[in-house]
Structure 1
Amino acid sequence: MNRLTRIAALLALAVSGLASTLAPVQARISIDLNAPTPEPMPIALPMFLAENGEAQQYAQALTQVIQADLEGTGFFRAIPENAHISRISNFDAPVAYADWQAINAQALIVGSVNASGGQVVVKFRLFDVFSGEPFGEGLQFAGTTDGWRRMAHKVADAVYSRITGEGGYFDSRVVFVSETGPKDQRQKRLAVMDQDGANVAYLTDSSSIVLAPRFSPQGDRILFTSYSSGFPSIYLMDVGSLQMRSLGEQPGTMTFAPRFAPDGQRIVFSLERGGNTDIYALDTGSGQLSQLTNSPAIETAPSYSPDGSQIVFESDRSGNQQLYVMSAGGGEPVRVSNGEGRYGTPVWSPRGDYIAFTKQNAGRFHIGVMRTDGSEERLLTASYLDEGPTWAPNGRVLMFTRQGAGAGGQPALFSVDITGRNLKQVPTETSASDPAWSPLLP
């Protein structure tokens, strides 16, 4: 499989979902994700059953990915299999609820795998142990063997959603900048991976500096800034073919910090001309360009609201970096950041309820969130350098770049819940920066 075919398969893999005949039941178990100190829910996740010999290699791997997804949220704890009293030997066998109650499992996940001729079929059921009832419908996912990890993520998404009431985010991808070499001779390439760091594929070579990649709302295209011409310019890449074209190119200007509008047809970005930087919008089909701000200040890092009606951006028009919100068509902006320090890289939550940002104050960098009117500001992290947050598709988790001090301080990707809990590093093959989360994959 060549590089283009592999990337297309990873990004556009078809996985079907078929409901079983189980009727949905209203179960009692749930997790309040906003509780001050939620205890991880103990769950039982026996290894999925292999229905045939070819499925053996996938059954354990699928189970491990599902467990890693759920435990990685900080809201679930899998009970070790050696503590299980019951053993699952048949996907359709009745559940011995008393055995699972005895080890304090609140939820039980039972699954099976069948593999044949390059195809994998995964089935699972979720049970509320203490009510002694199935939790929702059983589900079946089918796809190619290359997509077994996606099926595991889809199972984890279904379990997470049913128990928490929130949308899932495991079956998604992250585009980022892969960095190698010493700090004074940095080589940067665009790369894409599963949200848990697996299945890395490289989209560009290291012949020129690349920055700030951003997925389209459909996940089929990526915007980024490249220095291939010697000056920053915006490019649009098709993720299936890796074909690229320049956008918004204006003689004597620099363009950077692009983002898609929710309709996927327009982009918003910064354009510098004659020493002045303003925000512009571009229709990617017609090429029509519209200037949205006209100020002597530096105005950059624009991000649309989910309904496309507003744009948040950073500007130093008040003397230092602050956050402003304006109509998507331009007009007089309203300042929404009010705390001490400087604010930048704002990005609107996909749920529309928060704006995430980078804050610099008293020699420290923070990732934070605030309501869209600037109220309820909450700082989630603090370090030598944290910057560039991106939202998970469900609006519950943020990923960002963290870098340490000194020559040995390499950039890495971290994630954190919007409550500030569960801060952790995201594994990557190389140093990494500028993450951008995709929508949920189809």
Structure 2
Amino acid sequence: MSFFSDAEAGFLQKHLSRRSLMGGVAAGGVLATPLGLLGGRAYASGEAAPAEITVANAHQAPIPIVVPNFGAGLGDQISSVIAADLSSTGLFELLGGDVPASRQPDFHALKARGARVAVAGSATGADNVRVEMRLWDVLAGQQMTGRAYTASQSNWRRIAHIIADEIYKRLLGEDGYFDTRIAYIARTGPRRHQTTRLAIMDQDGANAHMLTNGSWLTLEPRFSPISEKLAFLSYANNRPRVYVYDLNSGQQTILGTFEGISFAPRFSPDGRSIILSATTRDGGADLYLIDLATQHRRKLTGTPGVIDTSPCFSPDGRSIVFNSDRGGSPQLYVMSADGGNVRRISYGNGHYGSPVWSPRGDQIAFTRIGHGGFSLGLMGPDGVGERTLTEGFTVESPSFAPNGRALAFCRQNAAGTGGSGFTSTIEVIDVAGFNEHSIPTTTGASDPAWSPLRR
């Protein structure tokens, strides 16, 4: 039997046997404009942060940064979200203190507090808010960047996340991932009889809301890379099939028509197609690619009796990693996008599943079952360099942040008698294997799917 989540394995057993903020308007009505220099020298456009500020160095010694209060009320809320975003990465050390918003800071005093960089900001307005932010290089005594953001009051959290992304990118030289969302499965009720709902939240757990009503078992949400759509598995009308959910309209559409069950969907990198698995009469499952515009489907695998599932494209769209039991046990394989040149890449002890390709293209995340438990790991696209990030009773469903720096996944514990004490949470871990932490949710949660940066 191939490797699946508990719920997916159950039904298979039964049936088989950003925007760019250079000024202008961003999606959601956030207007970003540059701020002038408050005296002294500013970093030139595109000038890099000091060489000693790198992600690798921040792993060893988090960057000391002052994020002051942006003002009473809404300003305090905005600065709190910025600080929480940066702190959640494990790459920043948050320091207390004030930094003036309308003049150069006292660099000597900031140095004495151990600060490497400092943020200054203010928030004004009611129905429409204007948030100003400046980032200062304390050691050099220079302004690194300055921006003003204007939006409706309802978008204040987005402004905070966008500012945190700007700070992250300016200091570490790569895009942040704070102005993103996570789709997931919300779980309520007893362990063996849970109600599941398709849900969505900001990456920090805020603004969570349910997209389906829980009438049917729902699993495996996946974000489109280019549009406000999700693919997911639903048991609607007691027939498990893949649906596409439009986040703008709320409309749900069945994807394709298959004689058996369709499951394990994943969008292509250009967002025009979905690859999925569909069961066969001989107890197997084949991979298909479906064009979303024409509904034309193309069969990519078809070995009789073999279960091929959990496909995921490489970022360039040229290769596909998937899970298959064609060798006798569930392992990871990579093939060309046309279904040719299939080669096995997993050779460790245990069963492998849930592969997902990093947006950077350099790593594949996976779950492995062995030695009586689960582990979450990474390997190169050729299978080289396998390493474990975390272990547990159940750790599964990895999903990369859009910059490839972090992974969201589901962690579940062993239930007691009658399912007592069972928990299912969404965790985030750095790809270096440190800084694991939970995303707060109001229900049990599983099957995380990280969105691209909002545009």
TM above 0.5: yes
CA distance in 2, matches of 1:337, 1:273: 25
* Aligned counterpart, 1:169: 177
Task: Give the 4+ runs in structure 1 shifted more than 6 A.
Answer: none
Does the aligned pair in 1 maintain the 2:58–2:91 contact within 8 Å? no
* Aligned counterpart, 2:77: 61
Match of 1:108 among 89, 93, 118: 118
Residue 201 of structure 1 deviates from its aligned partner by 1.2
Is 1:21 aligned with 2:30?
no
Which letter does structure 1 place at the counterpart of 2:30? Answer: V
* Aligned counterpart, 1:125: 134
* Aligned counterpart, 2:65: 43
Match of 1:395 among 392, 404, 408: 404
Aligned positions of 1:320-339 closer than 5 A = 320-339=329-348
Does the aligned pair in 2 maintain the 1:30–1:163 contact within 8 Å? no
Residue 167 of structure 1 deviates from its aligned partner by 1.2
Which letter does structure 1 place at the counterpart of 2:125? Answer: A
Which letter does structure 1 place at the counterpart of 2:404? Answer: G
What TM-score does the superposition give when structure 1 sets the normalisation length? Answer: 0.91
Match of 1:423 among 436, 441, 447: 436
Residue 219 of structure 1 deviates from its aligned partner by 4.3
- Which digits, 9 at most, give the CA deviation of each residue in 1:5-50, with x for residues without a partner? xxxxxx962222222234534442653323595122211111114x
Counterpart secondary structure, 1:307: coil
Match of 1:355 among 356, 360, 364: 364
Does the aligned pair in 1 maintain the 2:227–2:271 contact within 8 Å? no
Residue 269 of structure 1 deviates from its aligned partner by 0.1
Which letter does structure 2 place at the counterpart of 1:28? Answer: P
* Structure 1 unaligned spans of 5+: 1-10, 50-55, 82-86
* Aligned counterpart, 1:309: 318
* Aligned counterpart, 1:194: 202
Residue 340 of structure 1 deviates from its aligned partner by 1.4
Which letter does structure 2 place at the counterpart of 1:309? Answer: R
Residue 128 of structure 1 deviates from its aligned partner by 0.7
Does the aligned pair in 2 maintain the 1:192–1:201 contact within 8 Å? yes
Is 1:264 aligned with 2:271?
yes
- Provide closer, same or farther for how the CA distance between residues 441 and 72 of structure 1 changes in structure 2, counting only shifts above 3 A: same
Which letter does structure 2 place at the counterpart of 1:339? Answer: G
CA distance in 2, matches of 1:191, 1:12: 21
Residue 99 of structure 1 deviates from its aligned partner by 1.0
CA distance in 1, matches of 2:57, 2:432: 9
Residue 114 of structure 1 deviates from its aligned partner by 1.6
Which letter does structure 2 place at the counterpart of 1:341? Answer: G
- Provide closer, same or farther for how the CA distance between residues 371 and 131 of structure 1 changes in structure 2, counting only shifts above 3 A: same
Backbone CA RMSD of aligned residues: 1.6
Which letter does structure 2 place at the counterpart of 1:332? Answer: N
- Provide closer, same or farther for how the CA distance between residues 61 and 37 of structure 1 changes in structure 2, counting only shifts above 3 A: closer
CA distance in 1, matches of 2:248, 2:150: 21
Counterpart secondary structure, 2:55: coil
- Which digits, 9 at most, give the CA deviation of each residue in 1:377-436, with x for residues without a partner? 111001010001000011000000000002222211011000000011111110000000
Is 1:208 aligned with 2:216?
yes
CA distance in 1, matches of 2:56, 2:384: 18
Is 1:438 aligned with 2:440?
no
Which letter does structure 2 place at the counterpart of 1:397? Answer: A
* Aligned counterpart, 2:262: 255
CA distance in 2, matches of 1:325, 1:382: 25
* Aligned counterpart, 1:235: 243
% identical aligned pairs? 42
State the aligned residue count: 417
Match of 2:425 among 412, 420, 426: 412
Match of 2:352 among 343, 349, 364: 343
Does the aligned pair in 1 maintain the 2:398–2:407 contact within 8 Å? yes
What TM-score does the superposition give when structure 2 sets the normalisation length? Answer: 0.89
Match of 1:79 among 92, 95, 110: 95
* Aligned counterpart, 1:140: 148
Does the aligned pair in 1 maintain the 2:128–2:151 contact within 8 Å? yes
- Which digits, 9 at most, give the CA deviation of each residue in 1:123-151, with x for residues without a partner? 1011110111111x211222111110111
* Structure 2 unaligned spans of 5+: 1-25
CA distance in 1, matches of 2:86, 2:52: 14
